[in-house]
Amino acid sequence: QTQVVESGGGLVQAGGSLRLSCTASGSIFRINAMGWYHQVPGKRHNLVASINVDGATWYADSAKGRFTISRDNDQNTLYLQMNSLKPEDTNVYFCNTLTYYYTWGQGTQVTVSL
């Protein structure tokens, strides 16, 4: 199986927080770097944050200082803690490896209101 299921999105006011979760199938999760993505016009998926097997992280400029990516290899689960949310963070968020190994899931909708 090559599936991921994202959850945790919702509607929040600007300045609020959300914690996204991504549960992945199979043993490939624990030996691959993982990332959170969102969709942008003209590009299917844009990387927001990533985490290596050893825990090293990377963030897009828009996420630095506000988002924290983490992983639980025992539970095959990836997380994204989103704080100080802004209306421009509104999007559908997806998870996958950095080589797009998994079949893309449905994503989880994050909507930030003023």
32, 101 contact by CB (below 8 A): yes
- Residue written as token pair 């930030």: 112
- DSSP state letter for 104: P
pLDDT at 59: 98
> What is the block-wise mean pLDDT of the chain (114 residues), using blocks of 10 residues?
93 98 93 94 88 97 98 96 98 96 95 96
Strand-pairing partners, residue 71, are 78
Confidence at residue 41, expressed as pLDDT on a 0 to 100 scale: 80
Amino acid letter, residue 112? V
pLDDT score at 42? 77
pLDDT of residue 6: 98
**What residues contact residue 69 under an 8 Å CB cut-off, 6+ apart?**
35, 36, 49, 50, 51, 57, 59, 78, 79, 80, 81
C-alpha torsion angle, residues 100, 103, 108, 114 (rounded to 10):
40
Residue range 93-103, pLDDT digits in tens: 999 999 999 99
